[in-house]
């Protein structure tokens, strides 16, 4: 429930310098601009007044954070606004994980 701590605790597949403008009505303390700097194992995320590169809600950020949904696909659907050209592509690559999320519960949807 803390954008800065969560993003700083994660690792990214490519270096990234990005300002996210996050809207969050459920946890309003997360709303605002956050600068994410990632380079290998060195990752920081903190509040900033810098101009944003991307605008999104905490829901979209959470989906990308888990690695199963790309920011590019969310932007294509109109859920993420790119404010600096190339920011969506750079962020999508950096948020990509080595493996897709997987839950080994064995549960499946019934066939219809």
Q: Does 40 or 87 have the greater pLDDT score?
A: 87
Per-residue model confidence (pLDDT) at position 107: 58
The overall average pLDDT reported for the chain is: 90
Percent of the chain whose predicted confidence (pLDDT) is above 70: 86
Distance of CA 29 to the CA centre of its chain: 17
Q: What does the block give as tokens for 49? A: 């007044």
Report domain extents, the chain.
Answer: 3-95
Q: Which residues contact 24 (CB under 8 A, 6 or more apart)?
A: 3, 30, 31, 57, 58
Residue 75 to residue 64: CA distance in whole angstroms: 11
- State the Cα–Cα distance between residues 104 and 3, nearest whole angstrom: 27
Is pLDDT at 104 greater than 80 in this prediction? no
Reported as a single tens digit per residue, the pLDDT across 61-102 is: 999 998 788 999 999 999 999 999 999 999 999 998 665 655
Single out the residue of 99, 85, 95, 89 nearest to residue 38, CA to CA: 95
- pTM score: 0.85
Average pLDDT on 47-72 reads 94
Give the model's pLDDT for residue 58: 95
Average pLDDT, integer, range 37-59: 96
Superfamily of domain 3-95: SCP2 sterol-binding domain (3.30.1050.10)
């Amino acid at each position: 429930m803390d954008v800065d701590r969560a993003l700083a605790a994660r690792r990214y597949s490519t270096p990234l310098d990005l300002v996210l403008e996050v809207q969050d009505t459920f946890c309003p303390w997360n709303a605002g601009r956050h600068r994410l700097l990632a380079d290998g194992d060195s990752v920081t995320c903190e509040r900033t007044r810098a101009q944003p590169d991307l605008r999104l809600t905490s829901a979209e950020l959470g989906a990308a954070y888990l690695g199963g949904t790309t920011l590019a696909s969310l932007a294509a659907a109109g859920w993420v606004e790119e404010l600096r050209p190339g920011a969506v592509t750079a962020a999508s690559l950096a948020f990509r994980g080595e493996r897709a999320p997987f839950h080994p519960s064995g549960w499946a949807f019934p066939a219809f």
